[in-house]
Chain A
Amino acid sequence: MKKASVMDIPDVPKGQLPPHLELQRTRVLCGSDAPTHSEGIQYSGAYASMGIDNSLRLDDFCNKFRVEIIQLTEDEMEFDMIGIDASVANAFRRILIAEIPTMAIEKILMVNNTSVIADDVLSHRIGLIPLDVDPRLFEYLSGNDSPNERNTIVFKLHVSCKKSGPRITVKSDQLKWLPNGSELEMASPNPSAKPKSYTSFTCSQDSLPEFSNKPIGLKHEDIIVAKLGPGQEIELEAHAIKGLGKTHAKWSPVATAWYRMLPEVVLLEDVEGELAEELVKKCPVNVFEDIEDLATGKKKAVVANPRACTLCRECILKIESTGALPPEVLFSEAVKVLEDKCDRVISELS
């Protein structure tokens, strides 16, 4: 007797999943208490018994993948990535927060601090101030290196409040850039030798082509650093170096980066008349809209603005930059970092 394959039975659909399974594969459903099917069906053989190949073809991915930018300003951007899985989008988000280098103040040489803010608290606050400088122009400073113009930026803060004057607020614009390096001298055991400075700049930083047109400064000039009463003074020098958000959050280039799935709101049955008006009013973010159904003269609720819904394998990604690098450059760098990681592991294996 000839063996019949399960593929030949007429009512098994070939090459196409039945609609309810297709829905399960591509959409995350929100039940009344929790989302369901949030894990992607990733296993390549998952639908093998139905004759469907779930494996990833690179050319398939390259054809279907699309990016649509919704908003792009100097500080913020929002865009959709269609055809990418949540795990890769999450990898980009994690890299954006923790593994893109930036410049931030790390060392503070305190000369005089008679204000009410303690030394360490003041240093912590100054460290968190975002700097408006492209970190790709600098190198990392490792333990044995000496600070030079290629890996350090030096700032100076010298504010004092007159004894008879009013109280003053020290804002971040008082931090002055010193392109020639540190002005303070290290204590030398040999009094006749020339005093050494804390940094060894071989040339002034503003003679370098990158900085001659655009001097290094801070992104925001109005950050309050400290407040001084009459007779109090702060004098310090701050050295900024390159670092990663992994080490300390001050080196994170984004205020925040988050992603979510694009919501698809499907009305299961027609909502008409007064119920439609109620639905429109209830939604706090105007997802629904009334339209007149001309044939019957009644109103029908229609989903007009699904993006605003706060509940497909589509992901909306939003990036808010702190300013040193514009957001689209940040995302490019994040993808490059992921590629570098892959490269490193591949070369280690070979």
Chain B
Amino acid sequence: MEHGSITDVRSSTFSLMDEDHTLANSVRFTLNQDPRVEFCGYSIPHPSENRVNIRVQTTGDPAKEVFKDALQNLLVMSQHVRTTFDRAVQDYRAQPHNTIGSDGRL
């Protein structure tokens, strides 16, 4: 859910349930890369409670749009990682490989 002010759409805090550092740190990284973002950060109010607060302040665009774009970027990045990884596994499988000897060297 989003906590923002009605008059100023440029900054707001997004409070996400059932999330932790896994998503928050990666989304903070993609948010930082966006030139429209003036400030972004995340905090976990209490470790026993599964909630994370992400703060976004932008230079003019509504914070919700910028946050959505950052998530979209992260999504596309992960898809790209997945396809590159699958292709690399296929290429690795296709080549004949020597087994590793007992001393750890080829």
Residues of A within 8 A of B (CB): 40, 42-45, 53-56, 58, 61-62, 65-69, 71-72, 79, 81, 84-85, 87-88, 90-91, 94-95, 98-99, 328, 331-332, 335-336, 338-339, 341-343, 345-346, 349-350
Report chain B residues within 8 Å CB of A339.
Answer: 75, 78-79, 82
- Contact between chains at A71 and B100 (CB < 8 Å): yes
- Contact between chains at A91 and B26 (CB < 8 Å): yes
- Contact between chains at A87 and B33 (CB < 8 Å): no
Chain A, Cβ-Cβ closest to B50? A246
> How far is the CB of B83 from the nearest CB of chain A, in Å?
10
Report chain B residues within 8 Å CB of A94.
Answer: 20-22
- Contact between chains at A44 and B22 (CB < 8 Å): no
> How far is the CB of B45 from the nearest CB of chain A, in Å?
18
Report chain A residues within 8 Å CB of B77.
Answer: 58, 61, 88
9 additional contacts (CB under 8 A) given A56-B73, A338-B23, A338-B26: A54-B33, A58-B77, A66-B84, A88-B74, A95-B22, A338-B74, A342-B72, A342-B78, A349-B68
- Contact between chains at B19 and A331 (CB < 8 Å): no
| In the complex with contacts A346-B68, A350-B68, A99-B35 CB distance below 8 A | no
Identify the 8 closest CB pairs spanning chains A and B, nearest first. Answer: A56-B33, A42-B32, A67-B88, A87-B29, A91-B26, A94-B22, A342-B75, A335-B82
A100 CA to B16 CA in the complex, in Å? 20
Report chain A residues within 8 Å CB of B32.
Answer: 42-44
The residue from B25, B34, B68 contacting A87, defined by CB atoms under 8 A apart: B25
- Contact between chains at A345 and B92 (CB < 8 Å): no
Q: Is the interface of B mostly helix, strand, loop or mixed?
A: helix
Report chain A residues within 8 Å CB of B88.
Answer: 67-69, 79
A-B pairs with beta carbons under 8 Å apart, 19 shown: A44-B32, A44-B37, A53-B35, A56-B33, A58-B73, A58-B76, A65-B84, A66-B84, A72-B89, A72-B92, A81-B81, A91-B23, A332-B85, A338-B22, A338-B74, A338-B78, A339-B82, A341-B19, A341-B23
> How far is the CB of A130 from the nearest CB of chain B, in Å?
23
A42 CA to B30 CA in the complex, in Å? 9
Residues of B within 8 A of A (CB): 2, 14, 16, 19-23, 25-30, 32-35, 37, 64, 67-68, 71-82, 84-86, 88-89, 92-93, 100
Report chain A residues within 8 Å CB of B93.
Answer: 72
A346 CA to B81 CA in the complex, in Å? 20
Chain B, Cβ-Cβ closest to A98? B22
- Contact between chains at B25 and A62 (CB < 8 Å): no
A342 CA to B35 CA in the complex, in Å? 21
A335 CA to B84 CA in the complex, in Å? 12
Report chain B residues within 8 Å CB of A331.
Answer: 85
The residue from A42, A54, A335 contacting B78, defined by CB atoms under 8 A apart: A335
> How far is the CB of A184 from the nearest CB of chain B, in Å?
36
> How far is the CB of A13 from the nearest CB of chain B, in Å?
21
- Contact between chains at A346 and B72 (CB < 8 Å): yes
- Contact between chains at A85 and B86 (CB < 8 Å): no
Interface centre among B79, B92, B93 (most CB of A within 10 A): B92
A72 CA to B80 CA in the complex, in Å? 21
| In the complex with contacts A65-B84, A69-B92, A90-B25, A55-B78 CB distance below 8 A | no
The residue from A43, A90, A335 contacting B81, defined by CB atoms under 8 A apart: A335
